[in-house]
Amino acid sequence: MCGIALAMFSFLFGYASFGYQEPDYEKIAGKITEKTAKKLKEQKNLCLVGTGGGMMNDIQAMHMSFYFYQEVDLKTARELLVYAISEYLSAINSNTEIRPYLHQYPFTAKNLEIRIWIYKPDRSELPPNEIDYIADINGILEYHVQGADPRQSIHEETYEEALELVNSGFTRKISQINDERRGEKIIINEVVAKDGAKVSINVESFNYFLFQIDGEGFKPYESLSFISNSCHEILYTSIQADKDGKILPIGISPAVIGESGGICHIDILREKDSIHLKFPWGIQKH
């Protein structure tokens, strides 16, 4: 049980009043939010306490609010918030039913509002100077501590900045493995689009669950949507090519709790010539 909500939230999905007919896109949005919330509860123990959104003829924004019963530092708070944002975006952008109703596609962190209130495991309030509230508001991630005000902001960053910091941890880990083993990377899959853009999946050893994605041949500063699907666990993020049309190395761990191996599907979505590839990880079932 997630406990009793201590504040009133606007539940726009499933809103009912006399004579009101809920549009199809609100029903679809509600199902996506419900499914995402269930996954976030299972994977991160985030307890949903509120949903909402901005919907007038189309879907401009989608909102979720949570309680989290565990102390966090800034690094853990960032990882938790980035994970929640990525899962929500992935669920929205990979759903073909909702796509025609989105005010813009793909949805980005600027179209989401995610708020997380943090408590002790016994559900009591945290002491002063502990992070007790984090949020994504219009693509800006906010971190607050309990203070005399009573709440004070200690840090702000864009979703892209936070995502880069989280992903850099995977990249450093891959580099560390390479340094330790001093082996040559193995390209396990490579796809070249019609316009010459190329994406490759590298790994040094199949004993590890860490892979690296490299790309080149894209337009300078081209905006891309990156979606990975491993055993139905989906991760979405926005990336951008550099001035030379290259994608900075992306570290990815496709391992899924409860699974010993599987196939990871990668989609790099573009306006034209999207790239699709897949690769095996872990122990394959025959």
* pLDDT given at position 120: 93
Confidence band of 17 (pLDDT split at 50, 70, 90): very low
Note the pLDDT tens digit of each residue in 106-162: 888 899 999 999 999 999 999 888 899 999 999 999 999 876 566 778 889 988 888
**Any idea what the Cα angle at residue 180 is, between residues 176 and 185, rounded to 5°?**
80
Residue 243: DSSP 8-state: T
Contacts within 8 Å (CB) and 24+ apart, 6-14: 7/49, 7/50, 9/49, 9/50, 9/51, 9/52, 9/65, 10/50, 10/52, 11/50, 11/51, 11/52, 12/51, 12/52, 12/53, 12/55, 13/51, 13/52, 13/53
Taking the mean position of all CA atoms in its chain, how far away is CA 226? 10
Name the fold adopted by 183-282: Immunoglobulin-like (2.60.40)
As annotated, the residues of the chain forming the CATH 2.60.40 domain(s) are: 183-282
Task: Give the gyration radius of the chain's Cα atoms.
Answer: 20
Compute the average pLDDT of residues 39-62. 88
Computed over every residue of the chain, the mean pLDDT equals: 80
What burial letters (b/e) apply to 5-17, b meaning 16+ CB within 10 Å? eeeeeeebbeeee
Yes or no: say if 123 and 272 are a contact pair by the CB < 8 Å rule: no
Please tell me the distance from the alpha carbon of residue 169 to that of residue 12, in angstroms, as a whole number: 37
**pLDDT tier for residue 9 given thresholds of 50, 70 and 90:** very low
CB contact set of 31 (below 8 Å; sequence gap of 6+): none
